[in-house]
Chain A
């Protein structure tokens, strides 16, 4: 198991969880906030993050990578609301941990796309989930800062602090 990859995934999982815990304390009006240049409201963005984590893993599972994963949000099995985000992200976190442990050598798989089949390495999906998560977590923190819901922290970003330093401090405290 590669420590660098493991740490990248662990930070991603922790950052999702920390931001979600912050947002679970917001009022419905605060969850409905947005600003231009972002994905949408805070709640819509959180659901979008969780929905795509499921969808990426569902696609991988169909190719034999990882365990079966239903895309419950995209398929409409559950409502698109904040309450569904935590159970989905708990499930997807475990799945990402298993994938980076069991597939470190980055096998190339055939992904069915729009009218064609593409041969992609697993790393593309791992790269996408990390980038996608950071992009939308940044959107949410920008929204909250713009509306004065979140306070500034170091280096021009806003609470909750979910950078690498904060993650490292949190895991040191936990251990």
Chain B
């Protein structure tokens, strides 16, 4: 297994957890903040982040991950529950790329009933892009409202892991 993709995924897992830890300190009013051009309120975006990871992994064989989060379901899951779910999916991604270090085809049925043929590699690409996009929606939202978000870039990740 090349260390390069492993580190890209480790950064993703760390960035999710760091942002969730930050969001656990926000009030309900702060979790309800949003700005135009983003997915929506902070809390809803966090649930969306978690549910997407669960959906991607549920389509890969033997991950043990099923969807428990739904951003259309009220009340929204507590932030602590989302953080716990993302820790589970983080472990699952580690296992997936160890098991299939150089890709593996997957087949699944969508919620609409369509049969899809994709791959582990595609799922990793989508998971990384999706996660980063929505983490940055949240960072933009809170900073617009005067709250300093945590640094979650690659340099910070490397500094933290080497401490």
Residues of B within 8 A of A41 (CB): none
**Is A30 at the interface (CB under 8 A from chain B)?**
no
B8 near A126 with CB under 8 A, answer yes
Chain A, range 1-41, C-beta contacts under 8 Å to B: 2-5, 7-8, 11, 15, 35-38
Q: Which of A43-51, A72-80, A156-164 contacts B (4 or more CB under 8 A)?
A: A156-164
Segment at the interface with A among B61-69, B72-80, B82-90, B153-161: B153-161
Given contacts A5-B2, A8-B5, contact A37 B121 (CB under 8 A): no
A146 & B11 in contact (Cβ 8 Å cutoff)? no
The yes or no answer to B22 lying at the interface (CB within 8 A) is no
Q: How would residues 144 to 157 of chain A score, 1 for a CB under 8 Å from any chain B CB and 0 otherwise? A: 11100000000111
Is A131 in contact with B154, judged by CB distance below 8 angstroms? yes
A141, B157: Cβ atoms under 8 Å? no
Q: Is B101 touching A2 in the complex (CB atoms < 8 A)?
A: yes
**B121 x A132 contact (CB < 8 A):** no
- Are A3 and B102 in contact, with the CB atoms below 8 A? yes
Are the C-beta atoms of A138 and B136 separated by less than 8 Å?
yes
Inter-chain contacts of A129 with B (CB < 8 A): 154
Interface of chain B: mostly helix, strand, loop or mixed: helix
Whether the pair A126, B4 counts as a contact (CB closer than 8 A) is yes
Contact B2 A105 (CB under 8 A): yes
B57 at the interface (CB under 8 A from A): no
B29 CB → nearest A CB, Å = 18
Q: Is the Cβ of A4 less than 8 Å from the Cβ of B155?
A: no
B37 within 8 A of A: yes
Asked if B40 and A156 sit within 8 Å, CB to CB, the answer is yes
Q: Are A2 and B102 in contact (CB-based, < 8 A)?
A: yes
Q: List the interface of chain B (C-beta within 8 A of A).
A: 1-8, 11, 15, 35-40, 48, 97, 101-103, 118, 120-130, 132-133, 136-137, 139-144, 152-155, 157-158
Q: Give chain A's interface residues, CB within 8 Å of chain B.
A: 2-5, 7-8, 11, 15, 35-38, 100, 103-106, 120-132, 134-135, 138-139, 141-146, 155-158, 162-165, 167-168
- Provide 6 A-B residue pairs closer than 8 Å at the C-beta atoms, listed in order of the A residue: A3-B103, A7-B103, A105-B2, A123-B3, A124-B7, A129-B154
A-B pairs with the 8 shortest C-beta distances? A164-B126, A128-B154, A145-B37, A106-B3, A123-B7, A156-B39, A142-B37, A134-B132
Known: A37-B142, A100-B4. 14 other contacts (CB 8 A): A5-B4, A37-B140, A103-B4, A106-B3, A127-B8, A127-B157, A134-B128, A138-B140, A139-B136, A142-B37, A158-B37, A164-B127, A167-B125, A168-B122
